[in-house]
Copies of this chain bind each other. A is one copy, B any other.
């Protein structure tokens, strides 16, 4: 597959299941994207309660799924390119959370009518769409585990390890790190803590030579230690073959 093949959907399930889709299905999926949109400033792409007639695939950038509660913002999932961010709304009808861009993003849209036709005529592609929502659920479970089990220190380490692995799947991780347009406040919202405490944690992980997070750039300093502190085991990400990072 060249860099130009399937420019909007080629990262869908990339790194997860090499043979999930054949050429015809890949090409069909690509053709389903009937509009592409760009957002630069932080933007709420979808709002809780919205009833959509199309779903959104992330092409470029980072988006968060956000639940507002008690005047606070809680990030319950982060997405990387290739992820459908609201495929579940196809079946659930309305969203139970907001979808917010973190920095500049580019997204594509697939109508629910098109998805209905897929469900009626493309059992394998249907199964792979289902599969992608189950990967989200597996990540959700891991996040529950980490919230139950880990201190803020471990939660941040786990998050960095997960993002590095997921960006590696889709060929967007660098040699020793990756770009991440999240402020310390947003990292705090992703780890269920405050920005003040997140600042302590970021500093400590930097000082102890585990990972450096600054100015939107994450540098992995000691991946073994990062995995240990974050109790990270990539099995729940269902990567194909032997995982690079294990």
A141 pairs with B140, CB closer than 8 A: yes
User: Which residues of chain A from 119 to 171 have a CB within 8 Å of any chain B CB?
Assistant: 119-120, 123, 126-127, 130-131, 133-138, 140-145, 147-149
Instruction: Tell me, rounded to whole Å, the shortest Cβ–Cβ distance linking A117 to chain B.
Output: 10
B92 pairs with A138, CB closer than 8 A: yes
Chain A interface size range: 35 or more
Task: Report how far A238 CA is from B97 CA in the complex, Å.
Answer: 13
User: Which residues of chain A from 45 to 84 have a CB within 8 Å of any chain B CB?
Assistant: 49, 65, 67, 69-70, 72, 74, 76-77
B138 pairs with A96, CB closer than 8 A: yes
| A235 on the B face (CB < 8 A) | yes
| A88 on the B face (CB < 8 A) | yes
Complex partner residue of A130 from B74, B96, B133, CB under 8 angstroms:
B133
B92 pairs with A141, CB closer than 8 A: no
Q: What is the count of identical protomers in the complex?
A: 2
B147 pairs with A137, CB closer than 8 A: no
| A231 on the B face (CB < 8 A) | yes
Q: Which residues of chain B are near A119, meaning CB under 8 Å?
A: 123, 126-127
| A91 on the B face (CB < 8 A) | yes
Instruction: Tell me, rounded to whole Å, the shortest Cβ–Cβ distance linking A18 to chain B.
Output: 14
Q: Which residues of chain B are near A92, meaning CB under 8 Å?
A: 131, 134-135, 138, 238
Binding site for B on A (CB under 8 A): 49, 65, 67, 69-70, 72, 74, 76-77, 88, 91-92, 96-97, 116, 119-120, 123, 126-127, 130-131, 133-138, 140-145, 147-149, 189, 191-192, 231, 235-236, 238
